[in-house]
Amino acid sequence: MRETDIEALRQLPLFENATAETLRVATAGALLQPFPAETTLLIEGAPSDCLYVLLDGQVELHASWNGSDTVLSIARPVSMFILAAIVLDADALMSARTLERSLIAMIPGDAVRTAMRLDPHFAGAVARELAGGYRGMVRSTKNIKLRNNSARLANYLLTLRAAGGFGAVVRLPYDKRVIASLLGMTPESLSRSFSALGTQGILVSGPVVTIRDVSALEAIAKPDPLIDMHAPRCAEIRADTDAEIWASEQTRTSCR
């Protein structure tokens, strides 16, 4: 990777405050590579050789069992994935697939682990990143175990609205079938849940959703700060399951 490309990695909270030396060690042997859409980068069960950093595009993280498949998270720039597997040098638990043409940095796992050993501050940053990811998964589990399809969809729309600056119009960031799987339902059920929301002032036109009555939507969603990320925010969502980092960052730095 070129020097300027490596600097791009500083957009990650993980490398934000890293010393030049740590960044050099951590990214030794890293590659920057574009991938076409619909490309499988990693299959679950495979050893995790390198940490992936998504610089541009979209990557779906999914898993399968017994012939069926579910989307666990979607990475959006700039974010990384399979950090946990890298830290433990373990097999990946998810598969990764590009949804669109994506620019991805691949950092050898050894380099990351070496940097953790050498730089306590970096190891701390890794720990905070993983803590955020863990909490994202806890939120996701609560979402799935406690809420029904309508409530999950309603909260998802509120999350998008918050991420998009609280406008009345939100744009669905990926195909509805992907959203359906992410929300733990079938595409048919998502479609029906959308039309059920039609009576509550939600208009859907392709990927564009218009929210005419936020309080009606909230009445269905019953949002909860311990599950959702609807709070006013400064940064964009980077991935559905590791959005915790900025949430705590934000608290500390008062949205600056």
Partner DNA sequence: GTGCATGTTTGATGTGGATCAAGTAGCAGC
Partner DNA sequence: GCTGCTACTTGATCCACATCAAACATGCAC
Tokens of 256: 């600056």
Shortest reach from residue 83's CB to its own copies, in Å: 7
Please enumerate in sequence order all residues whose Cβ is within 8 A of that of 82, keeping only pairs 6 or more positions apart, or say none. Answer: 42, 48, 51, 52, 92, 94, 96
Token couple for 129: 């990143």
My answer on whether omega of the bond before 53 falls inside 30° of 0, hence cis, is no
The three-state secondary structure class of 39 is coil
The least distance separating DNA from the CB of residue 60, rounded to whole angstroms, comes to 12
> In terms of CB distance, is 97 or 113 closer to DNA?
97
Regarding 188 and contact with DNA (CB under 7 A), the answer is yes
Compute the distance between CA of residue 147 and CA of residue 185 in angstroms, rounded to an integer: 12
The number of residues that bind its own copies (CB under 8 A) is 58
Please select the residue that binds its own copies; options are 134, 164, 166, 216, rule is CB under 8 A.
Answer: 134
177 near DNA (CB under 7 A): yes
**If contact means CB under 5 to 8 A according to the sort of partner, which of its own copies, DNA, none does residue 189 touch?**
DNA
Binding of residue 173 to DNA (CB under 7 A)? no
- Segment lying near DNA (by CB under 7 A), choices 72-80, 142-150, 156-164, 211-219: 142-150
Give the interface size with DNA as a residue count (CB under 7 A).
Answer: 21
CB of 58 to DNA, least distance (A): 13
What does 150 interact with, of DNA, its own copies, none (CB < 5 to 8 A by kind)?
DNA
Alpha-carbon gap, residue 82 to 86, rounded angstroms: 6
Query: Should residue 190 be labelled a site residue for its own copies when binding is judged by CB under 8 A?
Result: no
Q: Work out which of 50, 51, 59, 85 binds its own copies, going by CB under 8 A.
A: 85
CB atoms within 10 A of CB 104: 25
From the list its own copies, DNA, none, pick the one residue 87 interacts with, judged by a Cβ distance below 5 to 8 Å according to partner type. Answer: its own copies
Bridge partners of 33, per DSSP, are 104
- SS3 state at 63: strand
* Closest of 93, 137, 116 to residue 14, by C-alpha: 116
| Cα 139 from Cα 135, distance rounded (Å) | 6
Residues that bind DNA (CB under 7 A): 68, 148-150, 175-177, 184-192, 194-195, 204, 206-207
